[in-house]
A and B are shown apart, each in its own frame.
Chain A
Amino acid sequence: MRTEPSVIERMPRAAAAPDALARRGARDRVVVALARPGVRLALLAALAAASVAVFVFVGIEGSWAFAVPFRLRKVAAMLLVAVAIGVSTVLFQTITGNRILSPAIMGFDALYVLIQTVVVFAFGAGALATTDPNLMWLVEVGAMVVFSGLLFRWVFARSARSVHLLVLVGIVFGVLFRSVSSFMQRMLDPAAFAVLQDSFFASFTGVDETLLGISAVAVVTVTAVAVPLVRRLDVLLLGESHAIGLGVDHRRTVAVVLVLVAVLVSVSTALVGPVAFFGLLVANLAYLVVGSFRHAATLPAAVLLGVICLVGGQFLLEQLGLGTALSVVIEFVGGIVFILMLVRKGVR
Chain B
Amino acid sequence: MISVASATKRYGRTAVVDDVALELGDVGVTAIIGANGAGKSTLLSLIGRLLPLDSGRIEIDGLDVGATKGDVLARLVAVLRQENHLTARLTVRDLVGFGRFPHGRGRIDAAGRAAIEEAIAYLDLEPFAERFLDELSGGQRQRAFIAMALAQDTRYLLLDEPLNSLDLRHAVEIMRLLRRLAAERGTRVVVVLHDLNFAAAHADRIVAMRDGRVIADGPPASVMRSEVLEAVYDLPIDVREIDGSPVGLYFR
Contact = CB atoms under 8 A, between A and B. Distances in A.
B225 interface: no
Contacts of A248: 70, 101
A287 B88 CA distance: 9
Given A231-B105, A241-B50, A241-B79, A246 B98 contact: yes
Interface stretch (A80-88, A232-240, A266-274, A321-329): A232-240
A99 interface: yes
Interface string A206-240: 00000000000000000000000001101101111
A247 interface: yes
Given A241-B50, A247-B73, A98 B87 contact: yes
A99 B99 contact: no
A330 B81 CA distance: 41
A246 B85 contact: no
A234 B95 CA distance: 11
A99 B89 CA distance: 12
A6 interface: no
Contacts, number: 73
Given A235-B98, A245-B50, A99 B87 contact: yes
Contacts of B11: 159
Interface in A103-161: 159
B71 interface: yes
Nearest to B49: A244
Interface string B62-95: 0000000111111100111101011111100011
A231 B73 CA distance: 18
B102 A246 contact: yes
Nearest to B52: A159
B102 A237 contact: no
A242 interface: yes
B78 to A, nearest CB: 6
A239 B85 contact: yes
Size category of the binding interface on chain B: 20 to 34
Contacts of B90: 237, 293
A234 to B, nearest CB: 7
Nearest to A159: B11
A246 B99 contact: yes
A335 interface: no
Nearest to A249: B70
Looking at chain A's contact residues, the main secondary structure is: loop
Interface in B1-47: 11, 45
B56 interface: no
Given A238-B98, A293-B94, A244 B50 contact: yes
A247 B74 contact: yes
Given A239-B86, A241-B79, A241-B83, A247 B50 contact: no
Nearest to B145: A242
Contacts of B73: 247
A97 interface: yes
A293 B89 contact: yes
Contact of B83 (A98, A242, A293): A242
B187 interface: no
B71 A241 contact: no
Nearest to B51: A159
Contact of A247 (B70, B80, B89, B107): B70
B106 A247 contact: no
A246 B106 CA distance: 10
Given A244-B50, A245-B48, A246-B102, A237 B74 contact: no
Interface of B: 11, 45, 48-50, 52, 69-75, 78-81, 83, 85-90, 94-95, 98-99, 101-102, 105-107, 152
Closest 4 CB pairs of A and B: A231-B106, A247-B74, A247-B71, A293-B88
19 contacts: A159-B52, A231-B105, A234-B98, A235-B98, A238-B86, A238-B95, A239-B86, A240-B50, A241-B48, A241-B81, A241-B83, A242-B80, A242-B83, A242-B98, A245-B80, A246-B74, A246-B102, A247-B74, A247-B101
Given A240-B50, A247-B73, 17 more contacts: A99-B87, A234-B106, A235-B98, A240-B83, A241-B45, A241-B83, A244-B70, A245-B74, A246-B74, A247-B71, A247-B74, A247-B101, A248-B70, A248-B101, A287-B88, A293-B89, A348-B87
